[in-house]
């Protein structure tokens, strides 16, 4: 059988190509085969294989795997393998991936504790509001309506000039 | 004060005073803080690390947090000195084993310790004798406020204080109460305590924190979550759990006295005899012996040892302390001999 590309030399390389579910036999001489296989897609690298393995384990990593912090240069995958973040900005950059992790670790993802004195009036008010709302829920659950009313007034007073949300 | 002055005395938290001090050895609170504008330590270069260390050291030394503050540069401390500081709970194992510019500042009474460049830029630790979480928190909070006046801590409204490891984010707080539970250990009820504590989001650790072995029936009970609850809420959860554990331990002790008095007494007195007469004691064995004798004092069997002496011996007979006391490095056989002779001396032994 002659090479189907140059049609001169003997075909010694036999390839099976599958395109759109159709099998096709191809026959080349050694020289022509070299050219053809160079155009084949490359085999995945070990790191690609690893990434795809991780992807199967945790979907959050698949989404975040290409994210790298512009400030400290840490990639999300590096964080997942070392367990340590690189800079305060990472909490923003990796937020999507971190949220479920933080939820699992702490049972919550909203800080309600101490706020540094120099954090700015807005942040202090915002966190106070979050704490008050939490207390309000607890008061309602305990059917302590007097306390709930008191808390509701406080919330109303505070929230007048604070924008809510994240 | 220098490290050599530490080896034959101990910090105030080993005095054996404070609430429930028959069972609760100490109450400890630590806060994790990082300075805004710097990467966390794993991403800091040598220059940044140095800058952080010097900024924090200067701020701490110049502040009036505590009198007689000492600073130890861990980068050029000897292995024995670092071991001694770990044994006294002034630094963590990770801090001792770390690299680069880092150090620890502590007051004379050793109640306060400020670790620079541990896992986070700053770890504030306050430790007191007995079950004293309220006082301990007040001091911790105050130090944090003083330092917060001149330092800008990394903080977000959503996640709170930002830390290198997301397990600490939020309050950055870990509360650890060290308890001595020999009777629960002997009667195998300790597993039940672990399970109950776990359901409340608390964890039980060994003597030297995360990943360390339990020895001498000493356990540390601490919070696992640091976010979503305020500092006071976290403290009150632990505050409500500890008295249940201590009364459980007391019940187990009573039951032992009632049901197997002879065996119990024999065990306690044998241990006391060993401490007073043995010529070689390993570090593992001494913790067991001290634990038995400590319980013997608590249930009124032994009345000629101060609780403080016993508490101190738990620390003073550790390898770093013995080597510092002796002024040279010792192999384990030498340590076992020195340990036994040191204990005999302290207990007026044979």
Spell A9-44 as b/e; 16+ CB within 10 A means b.
eebebeeeeeeeeeeeebbbbeebbeeeeeeeeeee
pLDDT tens digits, one per residue of A43-96: 666 666 666 666 666 666 677 888 999 989 999 999 988 999 999 999 999 999
* Nearest-neighbour CA in chain A from B117: distance (Å): 14
Q: Of A84, A116, A166, which has the smallest distance from its Cβ to B165's Cβ?
A: A84
Complex-level ipTM beyond the 0.85 threshold: yes
Does B227 score more than 90 pLDDT?
Answer: yes
Q: What percent of chain B has pLDDT over 70?
A: 97
Smallest CA–CA distance from A101 into chain B, residue: B166
Please give the angle made by the CA atoms of B298, B304 and B309, to the nearest 5 degrees.
75
pLDDT at A43: 63
Q: Is the confidence at residue A165, as pLDDT, over 50?
A: no
CB-nearest partner of A111 from B38, B148, B160: B160
Q: Is B176 one of the annotated binding-site residues?
A: yes
Q: Which alpha helices (H) appear in B63-132, and where do they start and end?
A: 79-87, 93-97
Residues B36-54: pLDDT tens digits? 999 999 999 999 999 999 9
* Better pLDDT: B184 or A44: B184
What is the Cα–Cα distance from B235 to B190, expressed in whole angstroms? 22
Burial class (CB in 10 A: 0-12, 13-18, 19+), A154: middle
Q: Give pLDDT, residue A15.
A: 79
The answer to whether residue B286 scores a pLDDT higher than 80 is: yes
Q: How close A23 comes to chain B (CA, Å)?
A: 52
Which residues of chain B are at the A interface, by a Cβ-Cβ cutoff of 8 Å?
Answer: 34, 36, 38-40, 42-43, 119, 141, 144-145, 148-149, 152-167, 169-171, 173, 201, 224-231
């Amino acid at each position: 059988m002659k090479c189907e590309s140059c049609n001169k030399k003997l075909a010694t390389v036999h390839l099976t190509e599958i395109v759109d579910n159709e099998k096709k036999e191809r026959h080349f001489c050694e020289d022509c085969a070299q050219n053809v296989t160079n155009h084949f897609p490359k085999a995945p690298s070990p790191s690609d294989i690893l990434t795809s393995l991780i992807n199967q384990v945790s979907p959050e990593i698949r989404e975040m795997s290409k994210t790298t912090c512009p400030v400290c240069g840490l990639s999300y995958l590096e964080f997942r393998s070392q367990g340590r973040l690189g800079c305060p900005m990472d909490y923003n950059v990796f937020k999507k991936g971190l949220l479920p992790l933080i939820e699992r670790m702490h049972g919550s993802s909203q800080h309600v504790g101490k706020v540094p004195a120099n954090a700015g009036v807005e942040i202090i008010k915002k966190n106070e509001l979050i704490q008050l709302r939490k207390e309000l829920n607890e008061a309602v659950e305990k059917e302590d309506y007097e306390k709930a009313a008191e808390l509701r007034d406080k919330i109303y007073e505070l929230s007048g000039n604070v924008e809510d949300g994240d | 004060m220098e490290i050599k002055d530490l080896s034959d005395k101990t910090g105030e938290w080993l005095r054996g005073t404070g609430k429930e001090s028959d069972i609760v050895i100490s109450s400890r609170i630590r806060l994790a803080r990082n300075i805004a504008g710097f990467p966390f330590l794993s991403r800091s270069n040598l220059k940044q690390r140095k800058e952080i260390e010097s900024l924090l050291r200067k701020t701490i030394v110049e502040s009036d947090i505590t009198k007689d503050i000492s600073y130890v540069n861990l980068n050029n401390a000897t292995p024995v000195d670092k071991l001694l500081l770990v044994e006294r709970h002034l630094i963590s194992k990770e801090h001792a084993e770390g690299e680069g510019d880092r150090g620890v500042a502590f007051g004379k009474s050793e109640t306060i310790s400020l670790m620079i460049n541990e896992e986070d830029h700053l770890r504030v630790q306050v430790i007191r004798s007995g079950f004293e979480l309220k006082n301990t928190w007040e001091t911790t909070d105050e130090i944090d406020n003083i330092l917060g006046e001149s330092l800008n801590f990394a903080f977000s409204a959503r996640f709170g204080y930002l830390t290198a490891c997301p397990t600490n984010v939020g309050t950055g707080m870990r509360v650890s109460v060290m308890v001595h539970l020999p009777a629960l250990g002997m009667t195998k009820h300790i597993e039940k305590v672990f399970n109950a504590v776990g359901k409340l989001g608390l964890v039980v650790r060994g003597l030297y924190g995360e990943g360390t072995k339990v020895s001498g029936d000493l356990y540390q009970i601490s919070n696992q979550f640091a976010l979503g609850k305020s500092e006071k809420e976290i403290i009150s959860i632990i505050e409500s759990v500890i008295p249940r554990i201590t009364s459980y331990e007391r019940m187990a002790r009573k039951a032992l006295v009632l049901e197997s008095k002879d065996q119990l007494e024999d065990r306690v007195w044998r241990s006391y005899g060993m401490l007073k007469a043995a010529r070689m004691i390993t570090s593992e064995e001494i913790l067991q012996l001290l634990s038995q004798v400590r319980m013997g004092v608590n249930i009124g069997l032994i009345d000629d040892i101060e609780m403080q002496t016993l508490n101190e011996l738990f620390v003073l007979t550790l390898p770093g302390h013995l080597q510092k006391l002796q002024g040279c490095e010792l192999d384990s056989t030498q340590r076992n001999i020195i340990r036994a002779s040191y204990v005999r001396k302290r207990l007026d032994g044979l």
